[in-house]
Chains A and B, each alone.
Chain A
Amino acid sequence: MTNTKEKITSKIWFEEPEKDNPFSAKSSYLHGYNVYDDLLENSSYMNYLFLLFMGEAPTTEQSKILEKICIALANPGPRDFSVMAAMSSSVGGSGNAASLMAALAVGAGSFNGGRELYLCMNLWTSAEFDLKKWQLEIESYDKESNVDVWPEATHCPGFEPHSDKLRTQTNQLLTILCDISENNYLNWLNENKDKLKLLSGSPISSVLVTAGAFKMLGFSAQQAEMFYLLARLPGAAAHALEQQSIGWKKFPFWPQGLKLSNDPADSISEVK
């Protein structure tokens, strides 16, 4: 490995320098398009994001799907664990970056997080439109005992662990996405959601719907996971700022909520 003139190889981005400063870009190009001369004036944010990830402009249908996903994901609400993490950061006066890092860390897991989305993408790839394959995948999700930094799966990705009925909002998301697009993934899911519930014992979740939408957009599992992590941050940011201004005294702490079963002072004691 040489230390001289090493370069970053990229298909995404290149720059032309200012004449008098090789460290300052005069022009920047995203997948061949001039960002400041062309995209800034002519592209929407959604189309820019799609171009950034996929290398080509989206179709009108793809752009609409991406926008709907972004709206659905932008704010999971203050009860969501990733948003709770951001708020828990901000009420103590931590910096805004810490709040977003907290939201990312918590929102990365296999319960509603980026990991679950990633696993759902793989589920779609493995089973596609074959109910028998879905059954095999559902039955085997917890059979693999590979040790990993990720904790073992405790529910089948894409299916509700805490609800026996299809959530209203999951159904609304699926319906709206199906109205925009006649693509296979979402319509197949809409037609087979009841059969999938019979196979798994649980209703499908919004994560599976979102993964179907990402499949329709042509995203890889890694791309979809990244985008999902990004797309859930705006709500975390807004709620963190709100709670920061309200303050820690009005934020839940559960003062009587911790029960120690092995308190050396008392075999079962309540933290005062």
Chain B
Amino acid sequence: MPDHDDLIAAEDVLHTEMGGWFQGERVVIRGKDLFTEFKHSSWVEILLFGITGKSYTEKQIKLFNGMWTLCGSYPDPRIWNNRIASLAGSSRSTCALALGAATAVSEAKIYGRGPDIHSIDLLLRAKKEIDSGVDLEFFIKNELKTNRVIPGYGRPIVKVDERIEPLRELASELGLFDGEHVKIAYQIDEYLSNGRYRMKMNIASLVAALMADQGFTAVEYYQFNVLSFSAGMFPCYIDAVNKPEGSFFPLRCERINYTGVAKRKWNGK
């Protein structure tokens, strides 16, 4: 039976280990002093420390940085989330509103955060199943039967994912390409691309595999990726705000393909 004792207990007090601001003195983040312990840290390091509470090696940070740089920084205003930034610029809205909305929009089902979290969840479950003796083919067929899709495989608009090779090269250079989840991701790719499914691995699966090999949980990986497209959004906004207002792919009235009912009168309802 619920009651409101938990609300009374939380009234006017927040107990936390996440951090706080000692006004005029210092800042603590997850038990560490921001000004002394993170003076030489990159922004990605503190971002990840805030999410996971862990510190990472130089090579890992290079990999995480590279993932964002190579995989999410596409300044193409036609891409659905970037388009929000462009429309905001063309409508003379602010850059922060543009980025805030475009970031929220990046939590999509067919790209971005949806495939991200489902891809890593799939790979984490696949490894667990394989480690317990389950055959990979059986696992994939079962996934297709249950969910009808394999997250991280197949891609809207084009089939080949141009990001895979550059990221593979970077991860290999850093010596971080040989983990078990990456192997499983490629095994799934081989099965799906050669069989009747004709689906190739997309970048969501490879990034998820690399992050799973670095010990990330599904939720940590999702949270890390939330801002990952932002570098591509700024150019879209800037370009649009510097062009005539309302000139971002303007549509004539006739460009609405109306498929609804014929003209009619309201009859005073």
Binding site for B on A (CB under 8 A): 1, 5-17, 22-25, 29, 31-34, 38-39, 42-43, 47, 55, 57, 95, 97-98, 101, 105, 147-149, 155, 160-164, 201-202, 254, 257-265, 271-272
Least CB distance from B83 to A in Å reads 13
Tell me, in angstroms, the Cα distance from A29 to B261 when the chains sit together.
10
Binding site for A on B (CB under 8 A): 1-4, 6-7, 12-17, 19-23, 25-26, 28, 30-33, 93-94, 96-97, 100-101, 104, 107, 113-114, 117-118, 121, 157, 218-219, 222, 250-269
Tell me, in angstroms, the Cα distance from A263 to B259 when the chains sit together.
62
Least CB distance from A155 to B in Å reads 8
The 8 Å CB contact of B254, one of A10, A17, A95, is A17
A11 touches B259 (CB 8 A): yes
B267: A residues at CB distance < 8 A: 42
A29 touches B28 (CB 8 A): no
Pick from B33, B118, B260 the residue with the most CB of A within 10 Å: B260
Tell me, in angstroms, the Cα distance from A5 to B251 when the chains sit together.
9
Tell me, in angstroms, the Cα distance from A5 to B259 when the chains sit together.
17
A161 touches B30 (CB 8 A): no
Least CB distance from B9 to A in Å reads 12
Least CB distance from A19 to B in Å reads 11
B121 touches A8 (CB 8 A): no
Pick from A97, A155, A260 the residue with the most CB of B within 10 Å: A260
Using A149-B222, A164-B3 as known contacts, list a sample of 20 further A-B pairs with CB atoms less than 8 Å apart, ordered by residue number in A: A1-B157, A6-B255, A7-B255, A8-B255, A10-B256, A14-B258, A15-B253, A15-B256, A16-B253, A23-B250, A25-B253, A38-B266, A55-B261, A98-B100, A147-B218, A148-B118, A202-B1, A260-B28, A261-B17, A265-B33
Tell me, in angstroms, the Cα distance from A8 to B12 when the chains sit together.
51
Tell me, in angstroms, the Cα distance from A160 to B4 when the chains sit together.
10
Least CB distance from B205 to A in Å reads 15
A55: B residues at CB distance < 8 A: 260-261
Q: Would A33 and B266 be within 8 Å (CB), given that A98-B96, A148-B117, A260-B16 are in contact?
A: yes
A261: B residues at CB distance < 8 A: 15-17
A202: B residues at CB distance < 8 A: 1-2
The 8 Å CB contact of A22, one of B25, B96, B97, B253, is B253
Q: Would A263 and B254 be within 8 Å (CB), given that A12-B260, A161-B2 are in contact?
A: no
Least CB distance from A180 to B in Å reads 18
Tell me, in angstroms, the Cα distance from A42 to B266 when the chains sit together.
7
Q: Would A14 and B31 be within 8 Å (CB), given that A201-B2, A260-B16, A261-B16 are in contact?
A: no
The 4 A-B residue pairs with the shortest CB-CB distance in the complex, in nearest-first order? A14-B258, A262-B31, A11-B260, A17-B253
B22: A residues at CB distance < 8 A: 271-272
Tell me, in angstroms, the Cα distance from A17 to B253 when the chains sit together.
6
B31: A residues at CB distance < 8 A: 262-264
The 8 Å CB contact of B13, one of A15, A34, A259, is A259
Tell me, in angstroms, the Cα distance from A55 to B100 when the chains sit together.
32
Closest to A11 in B: B260
Closest to A63 in B: B269
Closest to B93 in A: A97
A149 touches B113 (CB 8 A): yes
B25: A residues at CB distance < 8 A: 272
Tell me, in angstroms, the Cα distance from A34 to B267 when the chains sit together.
12
Least CB distance from B222 to A in Å reads 6
A23 touches B261 (CB 8 A): no
B258: A residues at CB distance < 8 A: 10-11, 13-14, 29
Q: Would A7 and B253 be within 8 Å (CB), given that A33-B266, A163-B3, A257-B12 are in contact?
A: no
A13: B residues at CB distance < 8 A: 256, 258, 260
A31 touches B261 (CB 8 A): yes
Q: Would A147 and B261 be within 8 Å (CB), given that A160-B2, A163-B4 are in contact?
A: no
